Copies of this chain bind each other. A is one copy, B any other.
């Protein structure tokens, strides 16, 4: 298994990115991580791990890198020799089986979209899955911003691919699929939701489809795969992050007032509880969100990713890029394509 890792992507690159790669190859003997980016800077990081398996951490040099705040399409055009495009290039040429980046999400997606050869056969437009917490475990929400012009067929494909992801990565057997909507009644929503609903009901996954779910139902976890169009999903994801940050900042302020009155060990335990709870929302164990619909696999990590998230993203990318899982994607997408588009 060979994975191209954008060593320059993320708020803290390249330090923790390279560190994550070092750990990942230590964990898995058949894994090679191609570190894509500035050769000198990557070598300097690798020098910190003299006992590392350097033969399984080759460097693929790129002179430029795209900043987190740069405009994706413009940056991709201006900086031809950037680490994101180079990583995708390795996937396209077959030198890598998967790509991982904690860099500019827009640039990652735009770069993939420019080359339909990177899509799995039958896929219309790839979609990004984000992992939300719920009472029953992690939930995959797709799409959170790769596709701003989704058709019902796209959402239907996201349900199929999300379901395979949930099985193999989130460990859910026969995950239920929900359609994000403004109400649970059958006739709710827009033309898009109505058409998507019809496709699910006619297709081979009809028994997994639980119909419309509302925003608040996400956290119940009855559906472990939730499909929506990219604009809604993106707002939902970012607002969710904002809400959690806001709530924890308020909680911290209130707890700070309490602390002086607590015995030291209780104050310490309270601090730890909050920290653990916050970590649960970051879902670093899955490393990031997959871009579903890509040959092999692609994981897009959060910009704030450190060692642990990168290591886990490499593990998940390795799992998803395995032949049998890619074969499942293709066979289930093909089965779905045979469904008549309208009843």
Contacts and interface: CB of A to CB of B under 8 A. Distances in A.
Interface of A: 71, 106, 133-135, 145, 148-149, 180, 182-183, 185, 189-190, 214-220, 228, 230-232, 234-247, 249-251, 254-255, 257-258, 261-263, 265-266, 269-270, 273, 276-277, 280
Given A190-B148, A240-B215, A244-B243, A235 B180 contact: yes
Nearest to A182: B234
Contacts of A190: 148-149, 231
A153 to B, nearest CB: 19
B254 A236 contact: no
Nearest to A280: B250
A145 B182 contact: yes
Contacts of A251: 251, 277
A242 B266 contact: no
B182 A231 contact: yes
A219 B235 contact: no
Most buried by B among A145, A220, A228, A232: A232
Contacts of A245: 216, 219
A246 B219 contact: yes
25 contacts: A71-B185, A145-B182, A149-B190, A180-B235, A215-B239, A216-B241, A218-B239, A219-B246, A220-B242, A232-B235, A235-B235, A235-B236, A240-B243, A247-B277, A251-B251, A251-B277, A254-B276, A254-B277, A257-B273, A261-B269, A262-B263, A262-B266, A263-B266, A266-B266, A270-B270
**Main SS of the interface on chain A?**
helix
B262 A237 contact: no
Contacts of A234: 182, 214-215
Contacts of A236: 215, 235-236, 239
Query: What 8 A-B pairs are tightest by C-beta distance, nearest first?
Result: A215-B238, A215-B239, A216-B242, A219-B246, A219-B242, A182-B234, A216-B238, A215-B235
A273 B261 contact: no
A281 to B, nearest CB: 8
A182 B246 CA distance: 19
Contacts of A240: 215, 239, 243
Contacts of A219: 242-243, 245-246
Contacts of A180: 235
Contacts of A263: 262-263, 266
Given A148-B190, A240-B243, A254-B276, 18 more contacts: A106-B183, A145-B182, A182-B230, A189-B231, A214-B234, A215-B239, A215-B242, A216-B238, A216-B242, A216-B245, A217-B242, A228-B235, A235-B235, A236-B239, A239-B240, A251-B277, A254-B273, A270-B270
Nearest to A217: B242
A227 to B, nearest CB: 12
